């Protein structure tokens, strides 16, 4: 039984990782300050996990959290491109300073590997499609800059200190358990719940923005592969499905699945948004043995069904 620390374990992705690790019989500790993470996501597991409540910006807290740990799945971050545009300083403090604390504490504690949650936003203004890991990143938001800086720190800790790290560039993750009520809620849960409730919804831009939407099962699989794969220390990998859908295509599919047109209008595009995102996942396939298990359309069906059951009280 290996010991795992999941930073941000009360978050959407983190809590799914906690669930998978427990299914595998691993020992799990969570570090979260619950600023964006939800305590209720961990309630089903509280008798089987250790929870450290604290902030990534506290070196003391992070050092305590990594003691006796074999692997760190570093999901903890202040999410959202719009939030980072509004408050770049705090985004940097948490996402860069917090990541540096995790890496330094992991080095001191003899952690075997740190898997770092990066983001497709690092590609930014680079218009080449599909996005490959060897492309020049051109971040256009403070969030993207912070995530890219975290990748660089991971590479430095691998080559300079011998701490094995793997960075995973997530592409637009979605699935059950995302918070549609947040001011920075992701597009898919926000629109599913809004359409179910009949609330007016605004699309940022004309709806032609395209994303490689990635169901949560695929992200969990990629993290498990990143822990186990050999010879990948210091490497960066795209985690996606390798297919892209526009927001208008997603809306059309949700209308079909939910049986409602929804009250949808169009507004200004968001500052810092990238118009087209599509991943090349060949490197992850070749080096990690990663293969997306759930295509985006199937994921939309699953998540629409999940939120539908919740709205009915099932």
- Assess contact for 140 and 274: CB atoms under 8 A: yes
The tokens of 120 are what?
């497709």
> To the nearest whole percent, how much of the chain has pLDDT over 70?
98
Mean pLDDT value of segment 56-79: 97
Spatial distance between the Cα atoms of 55 and 83, rounded to a whole number of angstroms: 18
Query: Per the confidence metrics, is the pTM higher than 0.85?
Result: yes
- Catalytic annotation on 266? no
Q: What is the pLDDT of residues 46-67, one digit of tens each?
A: 999 999 999 999 999 999 999 9
Mean pLDDT value of segment 277-281: 95
247's enclosing H/E stretch is: helix 247-258
How does the average pLDDT of the chain come out, rounded? 94
pLDDT band at 314; cut points 50, 70, 90: low
pLDDT of residue 308: 85
pLDDT band at 312; cut points 50, 70, 90: confident
The tokens of 72 are what?
């760190």
Domains of the chain listed by start with CATH number: 3-174+214-241+281-288 (3.40.50.720), 187-210+243-276+296-312 (3.90.25.10)
In the three-class reduction of DSSP (H, G, I as helix; E, B as strand; rest coil), residue 239 is classed as strand
Q: What is the pLDDT of residues 173-221, one digit of tens each?
A: 999 999 887 766 688 999 999 999 999 999 999 999 999 999 999 999 9
| Pairing mode, strands 245-246 and 210-211 | antiparallel
Longest dimension (CA), the chain: 55
pLDDT of residue 235: 98
Mean pLDDT value of segment 235-261: 96
- Assess contact for 213 and 241: CB atoms under 8 A: yes
What is the Cα gyration radius of the chain? 19
**pLDDT-wise least confident of 24-28, 122-126, 155-159:** 122-126
> Is the confidence at residue 284, as pLDDT, over 90?
yes
> Is the confidence at residue 313, as pLDDT, over 70?
no
**pLDDT-wise least confident of 12-21, 41-50, 53-62, 80-89:** 80-89
Catalytic residue among 4, 116, 123, 143: 143
pLDDT of residue 132: 97
pLDDT of residue 275: 79
CB-based burial label for 167 (10 Å; 0-12, 13-18, 19+): buried
DSSP 298: H
Interacting residues of 111 by C-beta distance below 8 A, sequence separation 6+: 66, 69, 70, 71, 72, 163
- Assess contact for 263 and 199: CB atoms under 8 A: yes
């Amino acid at each position: 039984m290996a010991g795992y620390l999941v930073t941000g374990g009360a978050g959407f992705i983190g809590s799914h990782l906690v669930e998978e690790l427990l299914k595998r019989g691993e020992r799990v500790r969570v570090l979260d300050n619950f600023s964006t993470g939800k305590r209720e996501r961990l309630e089903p597991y509280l008798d089987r996990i250790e929870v450290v409540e604290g902030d990534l910006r506290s070196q003391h807290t992070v050092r305590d959290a990594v003691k006796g740990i074999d692997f760190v799945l570093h999901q903890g971050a202040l999410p959202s491109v719009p939030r980072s545009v509004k408050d770049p300083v705090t985004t940097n403090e948490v996402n860069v300073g917090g990541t540096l604390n995790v890496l330094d504490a992991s080095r001191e504690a003899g952690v075997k590997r740190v898997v770092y949650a990066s983001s497709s936003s690092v590609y930014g203004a680079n218009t080449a499609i599909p996005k490959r890991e060897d492309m020049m990143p051109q971040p256009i938001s403070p969030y993207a800059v912070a995530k890219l800086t975290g990748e660089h720190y991971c590479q430095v800790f691998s080559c300079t200190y011998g701490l094995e790290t793997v960075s995973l560039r997530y592409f637009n993750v979605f699935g059950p358990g995302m918070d549609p009520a947040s001011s920075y809620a992701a597009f898919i849960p926000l629109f599913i719940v809004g359409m179910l409730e009949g609330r007016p919804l605004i699309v940022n831009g004309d709806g032609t923005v395209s994303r490689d939407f990635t169901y949560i099962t695929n992200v969990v699989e990629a993290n498990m592969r990143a822990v186990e794969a050999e010879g990948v220390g210091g490497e960066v990998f795209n985690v996606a499905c390798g297919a892209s859908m526009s927001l208008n295509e997603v809306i059309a599919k949700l209308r079909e699945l939910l049986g409602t047109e929804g009250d949808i209008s169009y507004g200004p595009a968001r500052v810092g948004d990238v118009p087209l995102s599509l991943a090349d996942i060949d490197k992850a396939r070749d080096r990690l043995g990663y293969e997306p298990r759930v295509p985006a359309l199937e994921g939309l069906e699953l998540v629409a069904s999940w939120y539908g059951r919740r709205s009915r009280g099932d």
